[in-house]
Structure 1
Amino acid sequence: MNPFLRKLGIELPIVQAPMAGVSTAELAAIVSNAGGLGSIGVGSVDAEATRKMIASVRSLTDRPFNVNIFCHQPAKSDSAREAAWLSRLAPEFARYGAKPPTHLAEIYRTFLTDDAKLSVLLNERPPIVSFHFGLPSSAQIEALRSAGIILIATATNLDEGNAIATAGIDAVVAQGYEAGGHRGVFDPHIPDDRLGTIALTRLLVRKLSIPVIAAGGIMDGGGIAASLALGAVAAQLGTAFVACPESSADAAYRSALLGTPAEHTVMTSAISGRPARCLSNHFTALGMFTTSEAIPDYPIAYDAGKSLHAAAKAVGEYGYGAQWAGQGAPLAREIPAAELVVQLRTEMEQALALY
């Protein structure tokens, strides 16, 4: 067994991605109980909800699990840009007999300024905490490390990987451009190299001295085996678990994932204000004709996105949902999470036997 997996306390090189809004305590616990690393995402909830989610996972497993937090820079409100964006969305709202909200809010608080969430993590001491969209302050990192928590962070390029290693983080997730959900870029306003999972994983393995976890487009045991062959210690899978009955994905999301929309994923900032890969739908089509400069900062834009989705959903249209998915989406399987982990292990072992 790889020494880092032993440090994590897991048996399999399988990490279930912390999909905020989709991952549940039940899903995370099942993956952990099966020998992998289950995860929950708390970037979209407050401190008290974070505490309850951690307690829920602990009520279902005594195995290690991961808690993922968002470290984006605080949003900069721009009333003119926000008003223009609402005006741009007004015809979409009208199509479903609704009006856009009169103003938009920063609906998610970044961990960088959330002392209450830090206190919860220090009191609850989950085994592993991971960071997305950047890194917290050195003081926050030191506090978490002093509490005995293993730390992981996402990188989309070598500069971010170097920053993670320099900060004393225990491991890095190499998030390829194929990955579903939000890009982990530290700064969404600078050019994105759009490195694929293979190139990024190998680059970080060669250039960094900390363990690398491959992520992006990995859907089966063959993909996990390929990640290990690249030098990764584990593979992180998100989209692969969305169709499991234990996820909180709604029926429309599941139907789209298991249907033809899965064949056409799109990277868009229109839904939330940050680039994220989504199943092709009405919102991604809208984003194709919108420049990123016109979209309010994350998560202010997400306030509008959620309102539009709710208005359409109220009359039976689900094509404005945040149906995050990676490029491997057509390989999704609608089976229980425990069964999926067993299949992933079998497929991985069969693939590794060929190397």
Structure 2
Amino acid sequence: MSILEQLSIKHPILLAPMAGVSTPELAAEVSNSGAFGSLGLGASSIASARQQIEATRALTEQPFQLNFFCHETEALNPETAARWIKYLRPAFAEFGATPPESLQCIYPSFRDNNELLNLVLDTRPKAVSFHFGIPHPKQIQALKQAGIITMVSATNLAEAQAIEAAGIDIIIAQGIEAGGHRGIFNPAIDASIKTADLVQLIHKHCQRPIVAAGGIMNGQQARLMLKLGAEAVQLGTAFVQCRSSNANTAYRQALFNQPLTQITSSISGRPARGLINRWHMQIEQPHRPEVPGYPYTYDLAKQLHAVASAQGDQGYGAFWAGSNVAQIRELEATDLINQLVLEIKQGH
């Protein structure tokens, strides 16, 4: 069965599930256009996640996916945290603020949270996808029994093979060009493979259907991925500028005015690609201390951004974007999908 049949969609295009940027409106617009909408719920409370799912269902009868974080939860090292807080103290001081004394684990992992599993089983989306790892076997079994399609991001062949061995239905091949967080299972190991190369590797060694993700901004790039062995493509950055996304004005403007990206783990504690700003130019120095684990580092970053943005400084925003962001087009979701489909078909 093809991905189009599995997901009950018309076009081989998936909206990347961007936590913080995704909205029910954007998900519904994408799904109503014959592609596959998504809700990035990794940063949402149970109540907020349920509300977003219900709001999306009110806007579309078409299928969409939910996405959660599946990281290995790690204990916070107090000494590492203290050094990192001290390192960022001057940045807070610039805005007349002091950093917190401790860091919180602001995002739970799906692996540790059966409330999230129960939410998925209760709401029965067409598919659920995971970033940073694979759910527990019992969780996968429960999702399968409920008839929910499972997808997991892979950034190298070893991860893809682990995904296939776990019985996951679809592999999302996330190349180094992708915006936002790298889906790597182990933050110490990043193969940094280009999307095109990763698709070919997985296609050669795995049997599961592949969705290509990373650096895809137009139909020509999508068509190349489909030729290399992907059955569909996933785009995130291209949709951030849509009016229905949750991106703020500064983020939208930066996509068009400052389209240079870099990967850093200074923002969240895990490597992620975003538009170059004060994080990359001031914080990411050679003498920078070790960052605390994810998502503790993110807790501090969000607090710094809050105090800075309150005074009109957007330089500490987490403006995630892929490496081909300079090719971004100002189009609403429906028009963007129609344009992508047209461009994909032009090559056939």
TM-score (norm 2): 0.98
Structure 2: how far apart are the matches of 1:162 and 1:321? 35
**Correspondent of 1:243 among 241, 244, 247:** 241
Partner of 2:230: 232
**Correspondent of 2:320 among 316, 320, 324:** 324
Structure 2: how far apart are the matches of 1:63 and 1:292? 47
How do 1:130-209 and structure 2 match up within 5 A? 130-190=129-189, 192-209=190-207
Matched AA of 2:181: H
Structure 1: how far apart are the matches of 2:333 and 2:280? 29
Structure 1: how far apart are the matches of 2:327 and 2:220? 12
Matched AA of 1:103: S
Is the contact made by 2:84 and 2:289 (CA closer than 8 Å) also made in structure 1?
A: no
Counting aligned pairs with the same residue, the percent is 47
Q: Partner of 2:129: helix, strand, or coil?
A: strand
CA offset at residue 349 of structure 1? 1.0
Pairing 1:335–2:331 present? yes
Structure 2: how far apart are the matches of 1:271 and 1:75? 17
CA offset at residue 189 of structure 1? 2.0
Partner of 2:290: 294
Matched AA of 1:305: A
Pairing 1:304–2:294 present? no
**Higher mean displacement: 318-327 or 44-53:** 44-53
Partner of 1:213: 211
CA offset at residue 26 of structure 1? 0.5
Partner of 2:31: 32
Is the contact made by 2:83 and 2:289 (CA closer than 8 Å) also made in structure 1?
A: no
Deviations 1:134-188 (Å, cap 9, x if unpaired)?
Answer: 0010000000110010011100000000000001111100000000000000010
Q: Partner of 2:338: helix, strand, or coil?
A: helix
Structure 2: how far apart are the matches of 1:10 and 1:291? 49
Matched AA of 1:194: S
CA offset at residue 292 of structure 1? 8.1
Cα distance change of structure 1 residues 290 and 41 upon mapping to structure 2, 3 Å threshold: farther
Is the contact made by 2:2 and 2:231 (CA closer than 8 Å) also made in structure 1?
A: no
Q: Partner of 2:59: helix, strand, or coil?
A: coil
Partner of 2:96: 97
Structure 2: how far apart are the matches of 1:53 and 1:158? 34
CA offset at residue 3 of structure 1? 2.0
Structure 2: how far apart are the matches of 1:290 and 1:73? 27
- The runs of at least 4 aligned residues of structure 1 exceeding 2 Å deviation read 290-293
Q: Partner of 2:216: helix, strand, or coil?
A: coil
Matched AA of 1:318: Q
CA offset at residue 75 of structure 1? 2.7
Structure 1: how far apart are the matches of 2:287 and 2:196? 29
Pairing 1:5–2:26 present? no
Deviations 1:60-92 (Å, cap 9, x if unpaired)?
Answer: 111110101100011321111111101100111
Matched AA of 1:248: N
Structure 2: how far apart are the matches of 1:285 and 1:295? 16
Matched AA of 1:61: T
Matched residue count: 348
TM-score (norm 1): 0.96
Structure 1: how far apart are the matches of 2:205 and 2:217? 26
Structure 2: how far apart are the matches of 1:304 and 1:322? 12
Partner of 1:284: 280
Partner of 1:266: 262
Is the contact made by 2:87 and 2:289 (CA closer than 8 Å) also made in structure 1?
A: no
Q: Partner of 2:298: helix, strand, or coil?
A: helix
Cα distance change of structure 1 residues 182 and 152 upon mapping to structure 2, 3 Å threshold: same
Structure 2: how far apart are the matches of 1:334 and 1:312? 28
Is the contact made by 1:134 and 1:154 (CA closer than 8 Å) also made in structure 2?
A: yes
Structure 2: how far apart are the matches of 1:290 and 1:131? 32
**Higher mean displacement: 204-213 or 292-301:** 292-301
Deviations 1:293-327 (Å, cap 9, x if unpaired)?
Answer: 61010000000000010111011000100000000
Q: Partner of 2:262: helix, strand, or coil?
A: strand
Matched AA of 1:270: S
CA offset at residue 4 of structure 1? 2.1
Partner of 1:254: 252
CA offset at residue 231 of structure 1? 1.2
Unaligned runs of 5+ in 2: none
Unaligned runs of 5+ in 1: none
Structure 2: how far apart are the matches of 1:184 and 1:346? 30
Matched AA of 1:229: K
